Each structure stands twice: as C-alpha cells, then as structure tokens.
Amino acid sequence: MLEIKNLTLRYGHHLALEDVSLTVAQGETVVLLGANGAGKSSLLKSVGRLVQPAGGDILLGDASLLPLPAHEIVNRGIAIVPENRGIFRAMTVEENLRLGANPARARTNEALMRGEIFALFPRLAERRQQLVRTMSGGEQQMVAIARALMSRPDYLLLDEPSLGLAPIVTQELFAALDRIRQTGLAMLIVEQNVKATLTLANRGYVLEAGRIIGSGTSEQLATDPLVQKAFLGSAETV
Ligand SMILES: Nc1ncnc2c1ncn2[C@@H]1O[C@H](COP(=O)(O)OP(=O)(O)OP(=O)(O)O)[C@@H](O)[C@H]1O
C-alpha cells in the first residue's frame, strides 16, 4: 500500500499541503479531485521526491520514501507521469520507451514489456519510429504513460492526463487507462475530467486549498452535492 500520512508542504510561507492523508492499495484506482492550485501536483511531486515536505510521511508498505532520492522512487515501483508529460520530444516513440526501461527493475523484461505496452496502446505500435514532437497531444500523452509503464511500476501516478486533449482523444485515453487498470496496476489520478475519472476509479479524495475536505467511493463522490457543485457543474445526480 502507498500511504500519505499527515503530509505538510510549504513553499516559503505558502502552505501548499496541510495534514494530508490518503492511501492507495495495490490494484486500486484512486482519484484526487481539486480545483486549480489546490495542491494536487504538489502531492504527486512529494511522492516523487521532487519537493521536500515539512512534516508527515510517505510510506510504501512499512518503508518511508522520504529518505530516498528521486531516482530511487521508480526502482521501488512508483512511476509518475507529470503534467508536462516528461517525454523526449526529439526522440522516437521507441527511443522514449527504451529510456523508460532504464531503471534496474525494468531491464530484464524490456522486450516483453514493450509488447504488452503496444497491445495497450495499438496506436503507438503503428507509430513506433515517429518523432514524438510530430505527434498529437493525445498520442504524446500515451507515449508518456507508456514510458512510465516501461519501468514495470506497481503504482502509476498521473497528473491531469487529459489536460488539453479533445473530448474524443480523452475518451481514447480513458479507454487505455481502463485497460491498464484491468492489468491490476494501482493508479492515483489527478484529474479535472471528473466524470470520466469517477467512472474509472474505485475511490477518491477532494483536496481544497491544501486540505482533504472529503473522500468516498466513486459513487458517493459522484452524488455528493459539494463535488457536483464544484466539479460537475450541476446539482443533479450524475
Ligand atoms: N515551486 C513553487 N513555489 C511557490 N509556490 C508554489 C510552487 N509550486 C506550487 N506553488 C503553489 O502551491 C499551490 C499548489 O500548487 P499545485 O501546483 O500543487 O496545485 P494543483 O492543484 O496541482 O493546481 P493545478 O491544477 O493548477 O496544476 C499553488 O498556490 C501554487 O501557486
């Protein structure tokens, strides 16, 4: 289990996260909802060891991740797809995947992983020699996710994967995420596309101004008046 425990994060005097606790069990899909600036990316960056929390802990099983350097996180089985996608646009799809297989835990099964990933993203299989910068936004997001999967993670953390994508492309992306979910990989998804993510996820949390203000199953969140008002743009049941 991945556990965020009473996490507090400050940027100078700004309190970005305050006493945040959440869990993601193996095989579970969890969504983190929150308006712009709520602290969602900061939470993922804390797990990725890109920022240093002021208090609390991040545990994988019984072990704290806080003493570890950023590059060690992926070796522990946590892959993060950042909002800016973290891919190499001047390289081909194939080259990006090869770089994703760099962590020690991924090297032995590189060819096998590539086969599995192309089965999850058939569109990438057709385009394996294409330069990423010539691809559409949706395809680039798929490359970013595929690259993260090459490290054979147990937990995949996604920061707004559908940001900037057309609705039809978003649909295709969520179909791919659903196929990934069915492989048993655990996911923590930060998303603005609340409706689609709640359909995919088992559970979720609501973050507001750095604090968790609500949590529940996807069904509970979808019918929660607070969630409807803030994220679904209506007072009706989804
Ligand atoms: N490096 C930084 N230095 C100072 N303040 C920061 C820094 N990074 C983020 N913040 C602030 O911390 C708060 C949380 O930011 P964060 O990016 O985590 O929010 P978010 O929920 O991911 O928002 P968005 O959906 O817009 O990406 C914001 O008020 C932001 O301005």
Radius of gyration for the chain, computed over Cα atoms and rounded to the nearest angstrom: 17
Q: Taking residues 178-192, what's their average pLDDT?
A: 93
* 2 Ramachandran zone, left/alpha/beta (phi>0; psi -120 to 50): beta
For residue 161, report the distance from its CA to the centre of ligand 1, in Å: 17
Whether the pTM exceeds 0.80: the reply is yes
Q: What is the mean pLDDT of the chain?
A: 90
In this predicted structure, the answer to whether residue 75 has a pLDDT above a threshold of 50 is: yes
Res 94 pLDDT > 50: yes
Q: What is the pLDDT of residue 107?
A: 62
How confident is the model over 30-71, as pLDDT tens digits? 999 988 889 999 999 999 999 999 999 999 999 999 999 988
- Provide the percentage of residues in the chain whose pLDDT is more than 70: 94
Pairwise pLDDT comparison (228 vs 69), residue with the higher score: 69
Residue nearest to atom 30 of ligand 1 (CA): 37
- Ligand 1 center–CA 94 separation, angstroms: 33
Q: Which of 7, 10, 33, 40 to mutate to test the pocket of ligand 1 (most atoms within 8 A of CB)?
A: 40
User: Across residues 200-219, what is the average pLDDT?
Assistant: 94
For ligand 1, the distance from its centroid to the CA atom of residue 8, given in whole angstroms, is: 14
3-state DSSP: the chain helix, strand, coil percent, rounded to 5?
40, 25, 35
**pLDDT of 236 over the 70 cut:** no
What lies within 8 Å, CB to CB, of 134 at 6+ separation is: none
Is the pLDDT at 191 greater than 50, yes or no?
yes
Q: Residue with the nearest Cα to atom 1 of ligand 1?
A: 11
Token output for 1:
């289990």
Nearest residue by C-alpha to atom 23 in ligand 1 = 37
Pairwise CA distance, residues 100 & 156, whole Å: 13
Q: Which atom of ligand 1 is nearest to the CA of 42?
A: 18
Residue in 32, 42, 158, 163 to alter for ligand 1 test, most ligand atoms within 8 A of Cβ? 42
Task: State yes or no: pLDDT of 234 exceeds 70.
Answer: no
Beta-strand pair 55-60/63-64: antiparallel
Domains for the chain: give ranges and CATH numbers. Answer: 2-232 (3.40.50.300)
Phi, psi dihedrals of residue 212, rounded to the nearest 5°:
-80, 120
Q: Which residues line ligand 1 (CB under 6 A)?
A: 11, 14, 16, 34, 36-42
Burial 102-132 (b: 16+ CB within 10 A, else e): ebeebeeebeebbeebbebbebbeebeeeeb
Mean pLDDT of 206-220: 94
Residue nearest to atom 29 of ligand 1 (CA): 37
User: Which tokens sit at 131?
Assistant: 């330069």
Instruction: Give residue 174's pLDDT.
Output: 93
Stretch 165-173: mean pLDDT, rounded? 89
In ligand 1, the atom with minimum distance to the C-alpha of 43 is: 18
Q: What is the mean pLDDT of residues 168-197?
A: 91
Per-residue pLDDT tens for 116-129?
889 889 889 999 99
Which tokens in the block code for residue 56? 């609390």
Mean pLDDT of 141-169: 92
CA 90–ligand 1 middle distance (angstroms): 28
Q: Would you state the pLDDT for residue 28?
A: 97
